[in-house]
């Protein structure tokens, strides 16, 4: 059974930084890990992802150059470092685990099998 738990969300001013984490239990070292965001109950948009071996990372155009995704397989944890935050980054951030197989699969929410409960990030203007 895979379980993902996010932490580190909060309130930050525009231009500030925040790091969210996702700790997993279960066998995740062979899984790609991704971050998505959205309002509760709404469709989640892709933010960033990291391949199982951490050699490849993927970013949405809206966060490229501002966010950095990383993983520590020894700790079963992934991170999303968010810099130069904007009010439009306000959302619930969810981590996910899966084994994408389709082209651009790392960016597609339906390629992920397991999801965390989400952590709220609010950026004030």
For residue range 24-55, list pLDDT tens digits in order. 987 677 889 999 999 888 899 999 999 988 89
Who wins on pLDDT, 57 or 52?
57
pLDDT value at 114 more than 80: yes
Average pLDDT over residues 83-92: 97
Average pLDDT over residues 108-124: 95
In this structure, what are the phi and psi dihedrals at residue 107, rounded to the nearest 5 degrees? Answer: -100, 0
| pLDDT classification of 102: cutoffs 50, 70, 90 | confident
Q: Which residues contact 35 (CB under 8 A, 6 or more apart)?
A: 20, 22, 47, 48, 49, 69, 78, 80, 93, 94, 95, 96
Is residue 50 a contact partner of residue 70, using CB atoms and an 8 Å limit?
A: yes
Average pLDDT, the chain: 94
């Amino acid at each position: 059974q895979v379980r993902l738990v996010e932490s580190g969300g909060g309130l930050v001013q525009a231009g500030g930084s925040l790091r969210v984490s996702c700790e997993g239990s279960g066998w995740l070292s062979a899984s790609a890990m991704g971050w998505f965001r959205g309002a509760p109950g709404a469709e989640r948009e892709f933010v960033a992802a990291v391949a199982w071996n951490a050699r490849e990372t993927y970013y949405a155009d809206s966060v490229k150059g501002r966010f950095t995704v990383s993983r520590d397989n020894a700790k079963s944890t992934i991170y999303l470092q968010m810099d130069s935050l904007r009010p439009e980054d306000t959302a619930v951030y969810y981590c996910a685990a899966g084994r994408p197989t389709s082209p651009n699969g790392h960016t597609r929410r339906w390629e992920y099998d397991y999801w965390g409960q989400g952590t709220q990030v609010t950026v004030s203007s």
